[in-house]
């Protein structure tokens, strides 16, 4: 499935675990051997057609590997829309919200996440005290977080306690750690843009299909 470009290897394992992958009409198992003569089908809403969605992950929703008491994006999509077979590219922590790109095209995952490609991700950050010029300049220049110096970024003040931050990398809890290193605590964090794809008017747990122009530009940027 991964070699055919239907999904990534990790996504293939998830589809198999759901029991919606069949080989010659029978439910497939992880590790099962197949040949070119076998027919592989993925059930329900999934097809060979590539799907690219902009999705607003709300607070409290898990982007990957939830505990038994938690709700992840796939579960929410199935419950709200009956939609299956698309997976988020990258992560957004439980307490953060905003834009994620969902797809069944596993080919674009690694290129979109590789910091060498300098894919911009823009955030609205609200902190616990007034935003200073020092904070904006330090965030833009790079912050030392536990021995790692973050890459240069773009910043712009939004209001007394909030600012825009554009990154081209995505370390774990990076923005929260950057702010903490400079004496600030993040009160809310929302991603509003990935490359040219914007959150726009989406509300939490809503999605929209990327239009032809957005899709073509996305594929062109990552050179699949």
Residue 2: its pLDDT value, please? Answer: 65
Query: What separation in angstroms does the CA of 40 have from each of 8, 45, 59, 82?
Result: 15, 15, 36, 22
Q: Verify whether residue 93 is a known catalytic residue.
A: yes
Residue 163: its pLDDT value, please? Answer: 98
Residue 54: its pLDDT value, please? Answer: 97
221 three-state secondary structure: helix
pLDDT block averages, 10 residues each, the chain of length 224: 61 71 83 80 59 95 81 89 88 95 85 87 98 98 96 98 96 96 98 96 95 90 67
CA 194 to chain centre: 9
Q: How many residues does the chain have?
A: 224
Residue whose tokens read 């829309």: 81
**Which structural domains are found in the chain, ordered by start?**
9-113+198-222 (3.30.70.580), 120-194 (3.30.70.1560)
Residue 39: its pLDDT value, please? Answer: 77
Answer whether 29's CB lies under 8 Å from 19's CB: no
Residue 47: its pLDDT value, please? Answer: 43
What pTM was estimated for this model as a whole?
0.78
Catalytic residue from among 80, 93, 105, 200: 93
CA 38 to chain centre: 33
Answer whether 13's CB lies under 8 Å from 113's CB: no
């Amino acid at each position: 499935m991964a070699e055919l470009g239907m999904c990534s290897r990790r996504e293939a394992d998830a589809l198999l675990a759901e029991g919606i992958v069949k080989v010659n009409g029978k439910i497939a198992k992880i590790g099962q051997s197949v040949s070119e003569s076998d027919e592989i089908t993925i059930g329900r809403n999934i097809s060979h057609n590539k799907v690219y969605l902009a999705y607003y992950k709300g607070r409290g929703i898990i982007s990957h590997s939830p505990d038994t008491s938690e709700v992840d994006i796939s579960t929410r999509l199935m419950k709200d829309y009956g939609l299956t077979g698309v997976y988020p590219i990258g992560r957004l922590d439980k307490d953060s919200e905003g834009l994620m790109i969902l797809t069944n095209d596993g080919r674009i995952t690694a290129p979109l996440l590789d910091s060498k490609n300098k894919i911009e991700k823009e955030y609205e950050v609200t902190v616990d005290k007034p935003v200073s010029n020092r904070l904006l300049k330090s965030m833009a220049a790079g912050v030392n977080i536990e021995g790692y110096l973050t890459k240069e970024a773009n910043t712009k003040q939004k209001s007394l306690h909030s600012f825009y931050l554009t990154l081209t990398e995505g370390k774990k809890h990076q923005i929260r750690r950057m702010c903490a290193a400079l004496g600030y605590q993040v009160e809310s964090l929302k991603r509003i843009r990935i490359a040219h794809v914007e959150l726009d008017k989406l509300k939490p747990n809503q999605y929209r299909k990327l239009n032809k122009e957005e899709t073509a530009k996305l594929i062109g940027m990552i050179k699949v």
